Copies of this chain bind each other. A is one copy, B any other.
Amino acid sequence: MDFEHSARARDYIDRVSRFVRERIVPSEEVYASQLVGSQDYRKWRIPPVIEELKAEAKAAGLWNLFLPDPELGAGLDNRDYAPLAELMGHSPLAPEVFNCNAPDTGNAEVLHQFGSEAQKERWLKPLLDGEIRSGFAMTEPDVASSDATNMEATCKLVGDEVVVDGRKWWTSGAGDPRCGFLIFMGVTSADAGRHERHSMVLVPLDAPGVKIERMVPVFGNLDEPHGHAEISFDNVRLPADHIIGGPGRGFEIAQGRLGPGRIHHCMRAIGMAEVAFERMCRRATSRIAFGKPLANLGGNRAVIAESRMAIDAARLVTLNAAYLLDVHGLAGALSAVSQIKIIAPRMLQQVTDAAIQIHGGQGVADETLARLMATARVLRIADGPDEVHQGVVARIELAAYK
């Protein structure tokens, strides 16, 4: 039993940590000043500073850190990448700067694992080079996506074409001017087995019949210049070779995405919680009321202690899930991955709420805390709401008592 990071991970931790602190965080203001806010996503532009930082990170060898393939990426396993994902939670710009932001990471993994050589050449290469971005079109507005069998969108084979129809939302990143393609998941043959009826299809964003209906607001925010799109697909006809891994493998591919993706999300959430926690401590030690720093008033120290405890526990359970995924695969990590998916976002919500409270009026005005609160709240729903994951954990436990 050894709770230290490997030498390799420690080296990356040092470098990523320094890059985030010295290069990315100080650029946040520039980024904000370059950002053109607009209700109309067609007017969104990428702040130039982000491309500069990307070039810098790439040059520094801090690029595609998420990809376990040592030739195309950093070759890190989940355990070693996890602390880097946490560090990327320290700035909203960081994941993209290191070419490690969702859903591109998941899309890249899917293409890397299941894509044909032609697909890799056309889509994966520019994605890993940071030239294009991508979206993932799975969730549907009209049905409860927590139940995958509800999915209504289709991608049927007609001759040598695949025909994509339906409506998706929460396709994050589809508003990005650089977004090149979507991975679309839909039903290919409704009468196949429950886990064999779906396929994943590569859909260029400019294919005829693809229409961005609107950008979905998150607590009133459009998250420009990336956005979360609601998209309609109307008789979108593509060559059948746009299907990834062949028809009927959608469910299998989706499953493979989930483990690492959830670990990334959770570790970033832990990094975000550290940001909120640091602000809470700064405020608690610098703000005076009733003649004392807030830290010495009432139960504030208990609040700080509970926040630290929640963060540290969330980190340990997430690292353990990463370890299990690396060593025992998704099957062996299934309960652990569902557990962290509940624990980390809830922790982020708790710590951010506490940080807001200790800031008083400044807490609800602060943009960072507002962003963290919204992120926490979204994460308790995205990739399966808490309730679905509780169901998974309970099912695994109760299997022993049949």
Contact = CB atoms under 8 A, between A and B. Distances in A.
How many protomers of this protein does the assembly include?
Answer: 4
A158 interface: no
A143 B362 CA distance: 11
Nearest to A304: B394
Contact of A365 (B79, B217, B282): B217
Given A219-B220, A290-B147, A397 B281 contact: yes
A385 B145 CA distance: 33
B305 A391 contact: yes
Given A370-B219, A391-B298, A147 B289 contact: yes
Contacts of A401: 281-282, 284-286
Interface stretch (A96-104, A194-202, A260-268, A312-320): A312-320
A288 B143 CA distance: 7
A219 to B, nearest CB: 4
Contacts of A221: 220
A99 to B, nearest CB: 24
A299 B398 contact: no
B295 A298 contact: no
A267 to B, nearest CB: 13
Interface string A298-326: 11111011101100110011011001100
A304 B397 contact: yes
A43 interface: no
Interface in A370-385: 370, 373-374, 377-378, 380-382, 385
7 tightest A-B contacts by CB?
A299-B299, A144-B289, A301-B394, A305-B393, A305-B390, A147-B289, A285-B401
